[in-house]
Amino acid sequence: MVTVPFFCPDVAPLKKNPVFLYAGDNFQKPNPFNPDVIVALDPIMEKKLDALGVMISQFAEGGANGSADLLPAGDADKQQKRHQQVRENFKRRQQGIAERFRSKLGEWYSEDQAAHVKFAEAFEVCEYGARPNKDELKRLFPFFEK
């Protein structure tokens, strides 16, 4: 829709469709997640956890199916425990991705680096946008070794 003229009259349409990326999930139907690129998060994991921690309604309160009761007002101890629980949940998630797609990490990092990645994020190119090849993905993710 970002390339459709007059869809959003206040914004000019893009001339070229951008790359859209799916983040991983565990759904199997209609298609299981099949990542095209895996990114090691080890160097920035604490920053990611800090950033997620300030999105209170999305994570500490549980998001769309959550409740403000998950983060009880006026109880600093319980709030701190909830924030720590959210951090630990995300650490486990990113560790699980690193393990699940360990072989795919080897396509983007040296064998030794891939073997030692503790936290990772995986992305699949969405067919609705531009479809970059591996060299184009390296340009979009410029921290990969040349």
Q: What is the mean pLDDT of the chain?
A: 91
Task: Give whole-number Cα distances, 44 to 35, 40, 57, 121, 140, in Å.
Answer: 20, 9, 23, 11, 18
Q: Does residue 144 or residue 82 have the better pLDDT?
A: 82
DSSP letter, residue 27: -
> What is the tens place of the pLDDT at every residue in 81-119?
999 999 999 999 999 999 999 999 999 999 999 999 999
**Distance (Å, rounded) from C-alpha 106 to C-alpha 117?**
10
122 forms beta bridges with 38
DSSP letter, residue 122: E
Question: How many C-beta atoms lie closer than 10 Å to residue 41's C-beta?
Answer: 22
Residue 17 contacts residue 3 (beta carbons within 8 Å): yes
Tokens of 134: 């591996």
The whole-number average pLDDT for the span 114-132 is 95
